[in-house]
Amino acid sequence: MKVYNPTRVRNVVLLGHSGSGKTTLAETMLFEAGAINRRGSIEEKNTISDYHALEKEKGKSIFSSFMNLDWRGHKINLIDTPGTSDYIGEVVGALRVADTAIFTLNAENGVEVATDSLWKYTQKYNVPSMFVVNKLDNERSDFWKTVEESKEHFGREVTVVQYPFSEGGDFHAIIDVLRMTMYEFPENGGKPDKLPIPDSEKDRAAQLHQELVEVIAENDETLMDIYFEHGELDEEQMQNGLHLSLLNGNIHPLFCACASRNMGTGRIMGFIDDVAPNPLEANRPKTETGEEFELDPEGKPVMFLFKTHSESHVGDLIYFKVYGGSVLAGMDLINESNSNTVRLGNLYLTEGHKRIEIPEVKTGDIGAVVKLKDSEVNDTLHEKGHAIKLDPIHFPSTTIRTAVKLVKEGDEDKLGNALHQIHREDPSVIIEHSQELKQILIHGQGEEHLGTIEHALKNRYNLDVEFTTPRIPYRETITSAIKTQYKHKKQSGGAGQYAEVHLFIEPFEEGMLDPADMKVRDIQEHELPWGGKLVFQNCIVGGVIDNRFMPAIVKGVMEKMENGPMSGCRARDIRVSVFDGSMHSVDSNEAAFKTAARMAFRDGFLKANPKLMEPVYEIEVTVPSEYMGDVMSDLGTRRGQIQGMEAEGALQKIKAHVPLEELDHYSTRLKSMTQGSATYMREFSHYASVPFDVQERVVKENLELEEA
């Protein structure tokens, strides 16, 4: 297998809304390059990517797929990605290692919601981007409307390089304003004839060519001087200018294609070869400390792991990109995350599910390795003595959660292992074993994402599971101060138990004054693992309780706070002062004082006007303006409080505070009311008091649970 110099490698990720034709474009590119001898199709379920059973069943991409081809001496690594926001984790990982992004746009639908969302990630990762308007043979194709929408959504840097001579059923030719040539395709696609631009299109082509020249010249002073002097740039000058402009994000070239009929893909691949940046130029990673890392083909080997996929009978297949030197099979490297030495097994290129063994992967190239011990996504591997850790992939926050449980007991270990593997393969999935809620929670990116996980648990891991409503991690606190006491006295032959404590409990606020009638001898501030504080004050005078029993009193209070007196939920933000009590020279011990403190705290808490608090999330909804009213009305029904609104290009952004309880299935409702055109993100903000009816319901449910 040929090993390519880094300057001859192009790492390209295909992005776009589901159904825009990414997988078909990849299939056609592979066919045109001779990597495959027959084109598959989504309908026939035989494409190189989308090879998983679930992808074939759904007829769309769910996982990122890796392919490669040779086009005129350049190696193009193609990464086909899902176009549904639920699988954004697959896209983010691919973007981290890509050097160029190609957005596919459906000529009928124009710019769709997922494209907007994906665009933000290319900007975040600074990935040079270009566009392909696909499906121009569709009867409702509207190329120029798609161009205008692209400029509106992504900026005036979107620049037409090609446009169709005709659209719809008559689509058969593309006019290229970079080369000022018309490409006319045979009926079944393939290699086009190069023809002069028809007279009817010369004026439009000349105008677009001039716009392209001006955009290129604007971003290069040397080319600007040449343009002013000669009024034109030759093809080589334009190519060099395009390369620099694309690399710097000053231009987003827009091409034409009908991937299903094999029209236009060859020219796109030629542009990738000639203009798109190589790995030494684009998308340089940063180290964990924020410094830019320069790729060195002659340096020490450095590789970054960015995706894991488990194959039956083989084990984990881990994808990596080389950021320095060359990586060879059998090489020993250090994993910077755990300092372990790992030996590389066989190295592979992949064509969908097919693996091709290779001896070496050079800087800038992408490969895969099996059975890499103690290694995970985001690990950096390097030569001993040359430590480096690259900045990890930052996966987006989750937007939905569910609880999972076994229908029948007995497979707990198997379930735990399955969930661990699911997280390894898709780090955008968060698995939480909540001791507080007594549930296993799965946090994902949407209903469809959770459905894919459920499918994997049932079909891949053969587990009989069900997804249930997750509980809410409420918090308890008090709103008034009260004195309370409890005497614990137990005699059952021999040594007994005796302890009496008097507590003053009150709501805690930063900067509050000491109790008026008490002298504080000692203060302990406990930052609670579940948020908030317990402040404990020793106000004992005269030695009525020995200091050696104070830790037991704190422990008794803390135990009851962890299992709140009112609803069983955790309590927070309370100050407890022990100011009186009594003990026995023989019968008093730590266990007795812990019990007395727990009971005194419970009794006092329930009399101190307790209140229940719920987690409130800050959400950010990105939505087309025509759906603003519907979204805001719906947020009102969810007890949401609007925090602000702002325009973001053609979209509107709504920020609001919404209780977690009201966000169950919100992503599904949002998609439904906006025809799939809105997205949202959420992040925990704070705890706030619940309405009285909610508090009554939660307390009642907890009582019924305890009695069951």
Task: Give whichever of 13-27, 280-294, 638-652 has the largest mean pLDDT.
Answer: 13-27
Adjacency order of strands within the sheet including 497-507: 482-490, 497-507, 574-582, 533-538, 522-527
**What's the CA dihedral at 207, 208, 212, 214 to 10 degrees?**
20
At residue 201, the pLDDT reads 97
R_g over Cα of the chain: 32
Q: Where exactly does CATH 3.30.70.240 map onto the chain?
A: 614-694
How far is it, in rounded angstroms, from Cα 152 to Cα 651? 10
Phi-psi region of 428 (alpha: psi -120 to 50; beta: other; left: phi over 0): alpha
52: its two tokens: 């998983």
How far is it, in rounded angstroms, from Cα 552 to Cα 561? 14
- What's the rounded mean pLDDT across residues 428-453? 95
Q: What is the CATH number of domain 6-274?
A: 3.40.50.300
Whole-structure pTM value: 0.90
Give the rounded percent of residues in the chain with a pLDDT score beyond 90: 83
**β-pairing verdict for 252-256 and 366-370:** unpaired
pLDDT band at 39 (very low <50, low <70, confident <90, very high): very high
Please give the distance of CA 339 from its chain centroid, rounded to a whole number.
Answer: 27
pLDDT at 655 over 80: yes
How far is it, in rounded angstroms, from Cα 577 to Cα 588? 20
pLDDT band at 494 (very low <50, low <70, confident <90, very high): low
Q: Where exactly does CATH 3.30.70.870 map onto the chain?
A: 400-468
At residue 188, the pLDDT reads 87
- Nearest 5°: the CA angle 453, 455, 458 is 110
For the chain, give the number of residues. 708
CATH topology for 476-608 is: Ribosomal Protein S5; domain 2 (3.30.230)
- What's the rounded mean pLDDT across residues 248-276? 96
- What's the rounded mean pLDDT across residues 394-411? 94
Q: Which of 71-85, 233-247, 443-457, 502-516 has the lowest mean pLDDT?
A: 233-247
pLDDT at 562 over 70: yes
Q: Which of 407-411, 611-615, 656-660 has the lowest mean pLDDT?
A: 407-411
pLDDT at 8 over 70: yes
pLDDT band at 632 (very low <50, low <70, confident <90, very high): very high
| pLDDT tens track for 279-323 | 999 878 999 999 999 999 999 999 999 999 987 666 789 999 999
- What's the rounded mean pLDDT across residues 137-148? 96
> Which residues, in sequence order, are CB contacts of 411 under 8 Å at separation 6+?
463, 464
**What's the CA dihedral at 507, 511, 516, 522 to 10 degrees?**
90
- What's the rounded mean pLDDT across residues 373-379? 94
How far is it, in rounded angstroms, from Cα 243 to Cα 374? 40
553: its two tokens: 């009193």
At residue 371, the pLDDT reads 84
The residue ranking higher by pLDDT, 703 or 418, is 418
User: DSSP class of residue 460?
Assistant: I
- What's the rounded mean pLDDT across residues 581-587? 92
At residue 708, the pLDDT reads 59
- What's the rounded mean pLDDT across residues 483-508? 90
DSSP 54-101: HHHHHTS--S-EEEEEEETTEEEEEEE---SGGGHHHHHHHHHH-SEE
| pLDDT tens track for 182-212 | 999 998 899 999 999 999 999 999 999 999 9
**Is 369 within 8 Å of 318 (Cβ atoms)?**
yes
**Is 350 within 8 Å of 340 (Cβ atoms)?**
no
At residue 220, the pLDDT reads 80
Q: Which of 312-326, 443-457, 575-589 has the lowest mean pLDDT?
A: 312-326
> Which residues, in sequence order, are CB contacts of 224 under 8 Å at separation 6+?
217, 218
Q: Which residue has the tokens 């948020």?
A: 531
**β-pairing verdict for 332-335 and 158-160:** unpaired
At residue 193, the pLDDT reads 96
| pLDDT tens track for 407-433 | 999 999 999 999 999 999 999 999 999
The residue ranking higher by pLDDT, 91 or 313, is 91
Q: What is the mean pLDDT of the chain?
A: 93
Does domain 302-382 sit in CATH 3.90.79.10?
no
Q: Where exactly does CATH 3.30.230.10 map onto the chain?
A: 476-608
Does domain 400-468 sit in CATH 3.30.70.870?
yes
- Nearest 5°: the CA angle 284, 290, 293 is 30
How far is it, in rounded angstroms, from Cα 264 to Cα 190? 8
- What's the rounded mean pLDDT across residues 653-670? 93
Q: Where exactly does CATH 2.40.30.10 map onto the chain?
A: 302-382
pLDDT at 98 over 90: yes
pLDDT band at 1 (very low <50, low <70, confident <90, very high): low
pLDDT at 180 over 80: yes
pLDDT band at 491 (very low <50, low <70, confident <90, very high): confident
DSSP 409-447: TT-HHHHHHHHHHHHHH-TTSEEEEETTTTEEEEEESSH
DSSP 548-617: GGHHHHHHHHHHHHHT-TTTSSEE-SEEEEEEEEE--TTT--HHHHHHHHHHHHHHHHHHS-EEEEEEEE
Q: Which CATH architecture has domain 614-694?
A: 2-Layer Sandwich (3.30)
290: its two tokens: 């924020």
Run of H or E residues at 195: strand 193-195
Q: Which residue has the tokens 């939920």?
A: 569
